[in-house]
């Protein structure tokens, strides 16, 4: 485990193995890449790095009013992590908003991306943030917009926006578990005990749990972060993965795969927007095959 340029990261496996950099989504710590999944990758002969985004987990928390940043900076943190681990290039395996970062790096810095794997994400330039906000506000979507999140997703976050903030550690963790249950979807059983262990770990290792809101502020600081119409420029072999019970980005993966030349779409039965134990073997097997040099 190490602190690299104020970004916390850790590395597994042998330095001589094919390198995989795991990029988690917005407002998410690197430990949301499950230990068992990471273990399957290293057992398959991969050198694996995961890290906490700025303003999450053990990475630096930033005074946004004094030192504002944009998602370009969050994207550049990916390259800084690679530099810190001596990786001129790596296989990028990305989840959710991490997939936007991976897609953009594959466009801008193709020499640094050996392969790209995008899980539960949206197409770069698709304006997913606007789609979600319009859905939450009950506003109509322009023609050609990405598919909306599920009704359950919209109802949950509308209620969350109207609710008072949690007053205690227990209330905060209960809320985090409720969110995980929603994102998990309805395709597989939800293990509440396992979820509590994970969210207690997330809570206890965070320098400042509230600092994650800066990711939203960074998005508002530069709404045009995502270039439009560039995915055809991606040269890296690309695997796009979506769960059949995805609550917030259902149908988005097919759009990504259609826009990236030669990309392959894989659906995982029962998976939602989380990475539960039931999908680790199938997911790791796919990633190992895709990153096999």
When pLDDT is cut at 50, 70 and 90, the band that residue 109 belongs to is: very high
First-residue to last-residue Cα distance in the chain:
26
Residue 5, pLDDT > 90, answer no
Rounded CA gap, 71 and 97, in Å? 10
pLDDT above 90 covers a percentage of the chain that reads 97
Q: pLDDT digit string (tens) for 8-32?
A: 999 999 999 999 999 999 999 999 9
> Mean pLDDT over all residues of the chain?
96
Residue 266, pLDDT > 60, answer yes
Count of domains in the chain?
A: 1
- Segments forming the whole domain that contains residue 117: 2-290
The answer, as to whether pTM is greater than 0.85, is: yes
Q: What is the pLDDT of residue 91?
A: 98
Q: pLDDT digit string (tens) for 177-214?
A: 999 999 999 999 999 999 999 999 999 999 999 999 99
Residue 175, pLDDT > 70, answer yes
Q: What is the pLDDT of residue 57?
A: 97
When pLDDT is cut at 50, 70 and 90, the band that residue 251 belongs to is: very high
When pLDDT is cut at 50, 70 and 90, the band that residue 3 belongs to is: very low
Residues with Cβ within 8 Å of residue 48, at least 6 apart in sequence: 11, 12, 13, 19, 20, 22, 38, 41, 42
The predicted model gives 82-93 an average pLDDT of: 98
When pLDDT is cut at 50, 70 and 90, the band that residue 151 belongs to is: very high
Residue 37, pLDDT > 90, answer yes
The CATH number assigned to the domain holding 80 equals 3.40.50.1820
Q: Which of these, 249, 155, 206, lies nearest to 32 by C-alpha position?
A: 206
Rounded CA gap, 130 and 70, in Å? 17
When pLDDT is cut at 50, 70 and 90, the band that residue 2 belongs to is: very low
Q: What is the pLDDT of residue 223?
A: 87
């Amino acid at each position: 485990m190490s602190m690299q340029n104020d970004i916390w990261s850790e590395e597994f496996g042998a330095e001589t193995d094919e390198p995989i950099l795991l990029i988690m989504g917005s407002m998410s710590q690197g430990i949301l890449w499950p230990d068992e999944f990471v273990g399957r990758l290293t057992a398959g002969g991969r050198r694996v790095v995961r890290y906490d985004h700025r303003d999450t987990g053990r990475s630096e928390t930033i005074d946004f009013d004094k030192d504002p940043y944009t998602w370009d900076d969050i994207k550049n943190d990916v390259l800084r992590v690679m530099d810190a681990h001596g990786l001129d290039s790596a296989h990028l395996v990305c989840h959710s908003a991490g997939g936007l970062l991976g897609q953009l790096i594959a466009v801008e810095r193709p020499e640094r991306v050996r392969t790209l794997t995008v899980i539960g994400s949206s197409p770069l330039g698709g304006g997913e943030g606007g789609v979600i906000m319009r859905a939450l506000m009950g506003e109509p979507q322009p023609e050609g917009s990405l598919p909306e999140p599920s009704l359950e997703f919209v109802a949950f976050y509308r209620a969350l926006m109207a609710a008072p903030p949690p007053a205690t550690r227990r209330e905060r963790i209960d809320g985090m578990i409720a969110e995980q249950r929603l994102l998990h979807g309805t395709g597989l059983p939800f293990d509440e005990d396992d979820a509590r262990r994970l969210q207690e770990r997330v809570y206890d290792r965070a320098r400042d749990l509230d600092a994650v809101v800066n990711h939203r502020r960074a998005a508002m600081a530069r709404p045009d972060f995502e270039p439009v119409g560039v995915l055809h420029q991606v040269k890296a072999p690309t695997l796009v993965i979506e769960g059949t019970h995805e609550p917030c980005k259902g149908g988005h993966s097919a759009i990504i795969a259609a826009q990236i030349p030669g990309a392959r779409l894989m659906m995982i039965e029962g998976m939602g927007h989380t990475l539960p134990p039931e999908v680790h073997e199938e997911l790791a097997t796919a990633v190992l095959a895709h990153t096999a040099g």
